[in-house]
Amino acid sequence: NAGVMQNPRHLVRRRGQEARLRCSPMKGHSHVYWYRQLPEEGLKFMVYLQKENIIDESGMPKERFSAEFPKEGPSILRIQQVVRGDSAAYFCASLEGGASQPQHFGDGTRLSIL
């Protein structure tokens, strides 16, 4: 049973380019969370999605960041016009649904901005 799959594992972009991070949840999981981890920091919540719906985006920066979880395919976190401060590890977690179910994390995408 494959876990949460994130790709790419490492992504290098120049300032002003776009970054697309993909997350395939565990089989049967319909809830996806994105978190960002800066060096020496814990993970910070960005956005929570279910299939075709954004449930909570309170942690997402208002500009340049967007996320989707289409009916078919992986969840995508998109960062437009990247800046140096976007350099971080981005983690996706998935959840089957129902009370008392833990979030399962992928191994993250390390984004570096030149």
User: Residue 40 or residue 63: which is nearer to another protein going by CB?
Assistant: 40
Residue type, 35: Y
- What stretch of H or E contains 8? none
Please give the backbone phi and psi of residue 66, each rounded to the nearest 5 degrees, phi first.
-150, 160
Stretch that binds another protein, among 11-19, 43-51, 60-68, 75-83 (CB under 8 A): 43-51
Number of residues engaging another protein in binding (CB under 8 A): 29
CA distance 76 to 83: 19
Among 16, 17, 27, 41, binds another protein (CB under 8 A): 41
Residue type, 39: P
25 touches another protein by CB under 8 A: no
CA distance 46 to 27: 22
Site for another protein in 51-110 (CB under 8 A): 56, 59, 91, 93, 95, 97-108
CB of 63 to another protein, least distance (A): 21
Among 35, 75, 88, 113, binds another protein (CB under 8 A): 35
CB of 66 to another protein, least distance (A): 18
Strand order in the sheet with 5-7: 5-7, 19-24, 75-79, 65-68
Here the tokens at position 94 are 């998935």
